[in-house]
Amino acid sequence: MSPEPFLGQSDPAPVRHHILSVLVENKAGVLARIAGLFARRGFNIYSLAVAPAEGNARFSRVTIVVDAQSAPLEQIVGQLDKLVNVVAITDLAPKDALERELLLATLPVNDDSRASVLDVAANTGASIVDVNAVSVTVMLAGTPGACDRLEKALEAFSDVALQRTGRVALPRLGQTANV
């Protein structure tokens, strides 16, 4: 079976996107401080993911994909660094980063469409995580590009409830990040 009908061509995130892995104090309002800074300085955020860092209740790690065309990266990092609750900023160029993202999508299905949904899942590497008589939930944990391809493939179906997490990233082995 050919995968072609289901594959998107390109990663819609811009070529000049950068991934900032930002260690922050886990305090009330920290996310608002970051979001507010981006808004008032006119920096674009493509995605943002937040979770407790390394099992430590004091800190959280915020992974921000920024558009380095909206403002020079140096300016974004410099302004972020001035936030008192920001502890450390790691800048990952896309080529030096391992990026992963999670996508969940629930689709209504009937006897006619179920097979094509399963086809999409098989061709994009997504797994079926929930199913009943009238709907299917698929999941993909993969590169942002893979998630994009799945999302594009799902455009062929109607009434899709789809959710993506935004990406998280770490340096590729052997690469050092700019701090």
Instruction: List residues binding another protein (CB under 8 A).
Output: 24-25, 28-29, 32-33, 36-37, 40, 72, 74-75, 78-79, 81-88
Least distance in angstroms from the C-beta of 74 to another protein: 6
Of 30 and 121, which has the nearer Cβ to another protein? 30
E strand map for the chain: 17-25, 45-53, 56-67, 86-92, 97-108, 127-131, 135-142, 161-164, 168-171
Q: What CA–CA distance (Å, rounded) separates 121 from 62?
A: 30
Tell me the residue type at 34: I
Q: Which two structure tokens, joined as six digits, stand for 93?
A: 């160029």
Of 70 and 79, which has the nearer Cβ to another protein? 79
Q: What CA–CA distance (Å, rounded) separates 100 from 82?
A: 28
Of 64 and 121, which has the nearer Cβ to another protein? 64
Q: What CA–CA distance (Å, rounded) separates 97 from 178?
A: 12
For 80, counting Cβ atoms within 10 Å of its Cβ (0-12 exposed, 13-18 middle, 19+ buried), the class is buried
Half-sphere exposure of 3 (CA within 13 A, CB side): 12
Least distance in angstroms from the C-beta of 54 to another protein: 14
Least distance in angstroms from the C-beta of 96 to another protein: 22
Least distance in angstroms from the C-beta of 79 to another protein: 5
Of 85 and 124, which has the nearer Cβ to another protein? 85
Of 30 and 120, which has the nearer Cβ to another protein? 30
Least distance in angstroms from the C-beta of 76 to another protein: 9
